[in-house]
């Protein structure tokens, strides 16, 4: 575990802002999903699901402290609830599950590794946790086994790509602007180049 696991005010504000921004983006992504589902059918949910994990990966890669992935995802869910998402309070549980899946991967590295591979694994962790949750919620056991396997594989790929890879790209772009100066990502990047 990092020696400085207490969040600073700046880190707390960053997590809150990221949660708010992605809460709005997540609501917009629902519209993308609905359009794609109308065109391509039921498996679309698993194809696009990874985007709903991305804030946990971005926040964790920037702040690099325990709990960041979990809290940022719950914050995004809370913003969606406040903005009137039809899913209602159940979104808080969804955010908790997804954030916990990403957090578990960062915890496995003791919050010390944030390479592209780890970020993609965190997206897959969120996918696994969310799949277990939606399995129970929507009774996937009643579906054809081949369909369930396809759904799981697509959700894993989406978590890796729309969660982990996209998160990595966004973090790198933010880092290049200089706005992350002085944060853990900046310290670690500078130390790696010494």
**pTM (2 decimals)?**
0.95
Per-residue pLDDT at 42: 82
Angle, helix 54-63 to helix 68-82, in steps of 10 degrees: 140
**Domain residue limits, the chain:** 9-192
Structure tokens at 130: 């969310």
Quick: pLDDT tens for 129-188.
999 999 999 999 999 999 999 999 999 999 999 999 999 999 999 999 999 999 999 999
**Rounded distance between C-alpha atoms, residue 86 and residue 99, angstroms:** 20
Per-residue pLDDT at 4: 66
């Amino acid at each position: 575990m990092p020696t400085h696991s207490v969040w600073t005010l700046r880190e707390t504000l960053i997590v809150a802002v990221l949660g708010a921004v992605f809460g709005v983006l997540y609501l917009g992504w629902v519209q993308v999903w609905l359009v794609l589902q109308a065109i391509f059918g039921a498996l679309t949910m698993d194809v696009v699901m990874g985007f709903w994990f991305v804030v946990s990966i971005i926040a964790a890669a920037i702040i690099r402290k325990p709990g960041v992935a979990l809290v940022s995802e719950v914050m995004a869910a809370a913003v969606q609830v406040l903005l009137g998402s039809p899913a209602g309070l159940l979104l808080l549980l969804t955010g908790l599950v997804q954030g916990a899946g990403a957090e578990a991967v960062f915890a496995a590295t003791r919050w010390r590794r944030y390479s592209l591979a780890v970020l993609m694994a965190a997206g897959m962790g969120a996918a696994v946790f969310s799949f277990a949750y939606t399995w129970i919620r929507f009774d996937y056991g009643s579906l054809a086994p081949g369909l369930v396997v396809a759904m799981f594989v697509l959700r894993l790929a989406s978590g890796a790509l729309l969660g982990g890879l996209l998160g990595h790209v966004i973090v790198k772009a933010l880092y290049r602007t200089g706005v992350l100066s002085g944060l853990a990502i900046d310290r670690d990047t500078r130390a790696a180049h010494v």
